[in-house]
């Protein structure tokens, strides 16, 4: 019988972004800390925390990062942010376990572990890893990455479909666990407010299909639409119909405010293995909002979603189905209210932030 013990120290590897840095600067308890993948919850368990954004990468780390990425991409591989890991290498190796929150830093970590540079166990979170692995050119590179990923203590996937794909690709000697993402049901809770917009869509993930939504909006001038997206998404949209308002890169407390003011939340997503607009989906459900979302593999199973029960599920890329579900939800007040109530019940029952962080904690045990 194996014996496990809690780690005394954990190093968190983050993808660098302005939002993440704002979250790190915010005091514990702030809504923005939600972006730190359980850092505060680990601290409350008495764990010493280090992370990859505590120091800026120096010239040596940046130069090595450039060389390694040039070599990997030049030979048909896939790289990432080596600089932040190399600049934090002393803190990485002084920790008992490393928690990688995204592939951008996860791939450098496992490749450096394979080379013997990183020593502690690595818990690797995969977010779109299959899309990266299928780009590898040649069996030699596939063996390199397969061997590196097998060195992870465990690979975490937020989609059952992604976990199944990775188990098959990695083969024996790997451990892949599906962990449903969670939402803070206290921070995101129902608000009694009159709707200010009929249809709201929020997201920065590259797989969001805002173009599909604007085509629906053009056909429904009787409804008001609002899109909150990254600047890149907005630039790609070009001119939008007159009934569509657009915002970019707003803070998380503003996201919550926009959700509170929406009649319906619509989340169209392109077909893919890892993205189902999961974060925004769960936030909207927690606020008892009726949600129309694409039925991608990422959320088709494992999240307890049922079409017409706690959300509306439509096929990715199907404009007619998306329009029909939006109109039915926006104009059917009683059915929409019931949908929202059951959505809230679903996340309270099985998709809370506490359940998510508890599941991660078990995977960090040594």
Q: Report all structural domains of the chain as residue ranges with CATH numbers, in order of start.
A: 9-182+353-364 (3.40.50.2000), 197-350 (3.40.50.2000)
pLDDT given for residue 173 in this prediction:
82
Segment 74-81 shows an average pLDDT of 96
CA atoms of 77 and 81, how far apart (whole Å): 14
If we measure between CA atoms, which residue out of 191, 160, 196, 189 comes closest to residue 177?
Answer: 160
pLDDT given for residue 273 in this prediction:
82
Span 33-68, pLDDT tens digits: 989 999 999 999 999 999 999 999 999 999 999 999
pLDDT given for residue 2 in this prediction:
57
pLDDT given for residue 239 in this prediction:
93
The secondary structure of residue 27, as a DSSP letter, is P
The pTM for the full model equals: 0.94
In 175-211, which positions are buried (b, 16+ CB within 10 angstroms) versus exposed (e)? ebebbbbbbbbebbeeeeeeeebbbbbbbbbebbbbe
Going 340 to 345 to 348 to 350, the CA torsion angle's sign is negative
Q: Exposed/middle/buried for 275, CB within 10 Å: 0-12, 13-18, 19+?
A: buried
Encoded tokens for 319:
């404009």
Segment 306-311 shows an average pLDDT of 97
Q: In what helix (H) or strand (E) does residue 199 lie, and over which residues does it extend?
A: strand 197-203
Span 187-241, pLDDT tens digits: 999 999 999 999 999 999 999 999 999 999 999 999 999 999 999 998 999 999 9
CA atoms of 317 and 257, how far apart (whole Å): 28
């Amino acid at each position: 019988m194996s014996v496990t013990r809690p780690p005394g120290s954990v190093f968190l590897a983050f993808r660098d972004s302005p939002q993440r840095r704002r979250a790190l600067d915010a005091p514990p308890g702030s809504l923005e800390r939600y972006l730190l993948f359980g850092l505060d919850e680990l601290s409350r368990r008495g764990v010493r925390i280090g992370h990859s954004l505590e120091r800026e990468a120096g010239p040596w780390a940046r130069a090595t990062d450039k060389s390694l990425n040039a070599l990997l991409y030049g030979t048909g591989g896939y790289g990432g942010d080596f600089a932040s890991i190399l600049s934090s290498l002393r803190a990485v190796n002084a920790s008992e376990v490393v928690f990688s929150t995204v592939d951008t830093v996860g791939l450098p970590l496992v490749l450096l572990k394979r080379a013997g540079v990183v020593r502690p166990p690595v818990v690797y979170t995969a977010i779109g890893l299959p899309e990266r692995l299928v780009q590898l050119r040649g069996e030699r590179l596939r063996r390199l990455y397969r061997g590196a990923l097998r060195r992870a203590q465990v690979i975490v996937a937020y989609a059952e479909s992604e976990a199944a794909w990775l188990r098959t690709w990695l083969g024996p000697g790997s451990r892949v666990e599906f962990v449903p993402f969670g939402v803070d049901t206290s921070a995101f809770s129902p608000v009694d407010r009159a709707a200010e917009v009929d249809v709201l869509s929020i997201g920065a993930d590259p797989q969001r299909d805002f173009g599909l939504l604007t085509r629906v909006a053009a056909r429904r001038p009787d409804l008001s639409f609002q899109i909150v997206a990254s600047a890149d998404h907005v630039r790609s949209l070009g001119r939008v119909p007159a009934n569509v308002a657009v915002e970019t890169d707003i803070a998380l407390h503003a996201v919550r405010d926009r959700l509170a003011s929406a009649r319906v939340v619509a989340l169209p997503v392109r077909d893919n293995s890892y993205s189902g607009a999961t974060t925004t989906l769960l936030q909207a459900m927690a606020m008892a909002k009726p949600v129309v979302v694409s039925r991608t593999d990422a959320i088709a199973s494992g999240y307890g979603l049922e079409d017409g029960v706690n959300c509306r599920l439509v096929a990715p890329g199907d404009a007619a189905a998306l329009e029909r579900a939006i109109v039915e939800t926006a104009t059917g007040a009683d059915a929409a209210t019931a949908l929202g109530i059951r959505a809230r019940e679903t996340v309270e029952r099985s998709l809370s932030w506490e359940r998510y962080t508890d599941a991660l904690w078990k995977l960090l045990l040594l």
